[in-house]
Copies of this chain bind each other. A is one copy, B any other.
Amino acid sequence: MTRWLDDDEQRTWRSFLSATQLVNEALDRQLQRDAGMPHTYYMILVALSEAPERSMRMSELAGRAQSSQSRLSHAIARLEERGWVRRDRCPDDRRGNVAVLTGEGFAALEAAAPGHVEEVRRSLFDALTPEQVRRLGEICAAVRNTLER
C-alpha cells in the first residue's frame, strides 16, 4: 500500500534534511552569537523594516515573516522588552494591533545585517554554481506552490 522511498529517493531525502538543517543551524548560530537574536526574530525585523512606516498589522506580519500568530505574538513581546518594537492599537479595527519597528530596532537590524548576509553566502550560495542557484530557485518555487495554502 505505502509507496516507500527507493534508494535514490532515500538518499535525496536524507541529504535534503541534512543540508537544510545545516544551513538553518549556521544561520541561527551566527545571529545568536553576533546579534543576540534567533533567525525568526531577524525575519520579523526585516519584514517590519520593509513595510511603510516600518509598521504592520500583526496578522499581516505573521504572514510575511512566516510565523504563526501565536509565535509572532510571543516574539513581539520579547522584542518589545528589548525596545526594538512597539505595539500600537489599530485605529480602524479595535481588535487589531500594529507592530512598529523602533529606531533602536532598525539600528539593531542594520548592525546585524552584514554578518547575516555573509553567513547566507557562506552557507548556501558559495557552495553552488549559478546554474544550481537558478535550479534551486525553481525547485523551491514548485514546493511552495504545492504546500502554500
Chain A contacts to B: CB under 8 angstroms: 1-5, 8-9, 11-13, 15-24, 26, 43, 66, 113-114, 117-118, 120-121, 123-128, 132-148
Contacts and interface: CB of A to CB of B under 8 A. Distances in A.
Given A1-B114, A114-B2, A139 B128 contact: yes
Contact of A124 (B16, B121, B128): B16
Given A2-B113, A127-B142, A127-B143, 18 more contacts: A1-B114, A5-B117, A5-B125, A12-B136, A15-B137, A15-B140, A16-B137, A17-B66, A18-B144, A18-B148, A19-B139, A20-B24, A124-B143, A127-B145, A128-B142, A132-B138, A135-B135, A136-B136
Nearest to A39: B17
A25 to B, nearest CB: 9
A18 B117 CA distance: 17
29 contacts: A2-B118, A5-B117, A5-B121, A9-B133, A12-B133, A12-B134, A13-B120, A13-B124, A15-B137, A18-B144, A19-B141, A19-B143, A19-B147, A20-B23, A22-B147, A23-B143, A23-B147, A26-B147, A124-B143, A126-B146, A127-B145, A127-B146, A128-B139, A128-B142, A128-B143, A132-B138, A132-B139, A135-B139, A136-B139
